[in-house]
Amino acid sequence: MKTLSRIAVATTLLGTSLFANPDTMQQETYDSIVKTGNDVTTTLIQTLGKNLKQHLKSDGPLGAAKFCSTQAFPLTDTVSAQYGKAIHVKRISLKERNPANAAEGSEKTVLEALQTLQNNGVVLPKYLVARVDANTAKYYKPLRINKKVCLKCHGAVSKNAKLATFIKSRYPNDKAIGYTMGDLRGAIVVTIKQ
């Protein structure tokens, strides 16, 4: 009974007027938000992914972790800047490695609702659009662990002693381990001012 209640709450949350859809927002505005959100998240995923792949290939998981610890935020900021002052992109998680990626406020509520749905076998949407105010929207792209290579740094990290030591020293309060394939890792959030 508790599980059904959680699913109902998550479904209700995701179906409220907080979340925009073409029926509650002008179609043109909604389509523009979705296009921008898709473009920005694709650019960020490709930018981070290309660099991670490069560092994994040349320096292994430890090199990739070192790259992430110093370059993920600057690269994310570069992607934001590429799209202008009206766009801001970031990554959030309920189990963050870097405290700066911790989901808070309404973003945390959204991730908790998505996590509840995921835990109960509901297929997650490819994206969500939330109205913040009359001039601002947020586009959420759920991120799942969908490649085995992700598990090198986010799975059973203790299998690699050097990597585990680096992560523990760099992020003493790390929560971003223990994932398995298909788990919800977090989301990319694109804030769009219109």
**Which is more confident, 51 or 18?**
51
Plot region of 118 (φ>0 → left; ψ -120 to 50 → alpha; else → beta): alpha
**Which is more confident, 57 or 12?**
57
Residue labelled with tokens 């490069």: 54
For 37, counting Cβ atoms within 10 Å of its Cβ (0-12 exposed, 13-18 middle, 19+ buried), the class is buried
Q: How do residues 127-136 score in pLDDT, each as one tens digit?
A: 999 999 989 9
Average pLDDT of the chain, as a whole number: 87
Whether residue 49 has pLDDT greater than 60: yes
Pair type for strands 87-92 and 136-144: unpaired
Tokens of 84: 């202008």
* pTM for the full predicted model: 0.86
For 44, 53, 115, the CA distances from 72, given in Å and listed in that order, are: 10, 13, 24
Whether residue 121 has pLDDT greater than 50: yes
